[in-house]
Homo-oligomer: A and B are copies of this chain.
Amino acid sequence: MKGDPSALLARKLSLHTPLSEAERAALGQLLARLQPLRNGETLAAKGDPLDIATLVVEGMLCRAKMLSDGRRQILSLLLPGDLVDAHASLLRRRDDSLEAVGATVVMVVPQSRLAALEQTHPNLRDAFLREAFIETAIAREWVLNVGRRNAREALAHLLCELHTRFEAVGLATADEFRFPLKQQHLADALGLSNIHLNRVLRQLRDERLIVLGRRWVTVPDRPALCAAAHFEGDYLHLPTDRAA
**Chain A: interface residue count, which band?**
35 or more
In the complex formed, the residue of B with least CB distance to A129 is B90
Q: Which residues of B contact A129 (CB under 8 A)?
A: 87, 90, 129
| A140 and B191 within 8 A (CB) | no
| A146 and B149 within 8 A (CB) | no
Q: Which of A71-79, A169-177, A203-211 contacts B (4 or more CB under 8 A)?
A: A71-79
> With A and B bound together, what is the CA distance between A68 and B144 in angstroms?
12
Known: A88-B133, A91-B130, A133-B91. A73 touches B148 (CB 8 A): yes
Q: Which residues in chain A, 115-161, are within 8 Å of chain B measured between CB atoms? A: 126, 129-130, 132-137, 139-144, 146-149
Q: Which residues of B contact A191 (CB under 8 A)?
A: 146-148
Copies of this chain, whole number: 2
Known: A68-B230, A140-B75, A140-B96. A190 touches B91 (CB 8 A): no
Q: Which residues of B contact A126 (CB under 8 A)?
A: 90
Q: Sample 22 A-B pairs with CB under 8 A, ordered by A number.
A: A46-B234, A65-B140, A67-B148, A67-B230, A68-B230, A71-B149, A75-B144, A88-B133, A90-B129, A91-B130, A91-B133, A91-B134, A91-B137, A95-B140, A95-B141, A129-B129, A132-B133, A136-B136, A143-B143, A146-B191, A147-B147, A147-B191
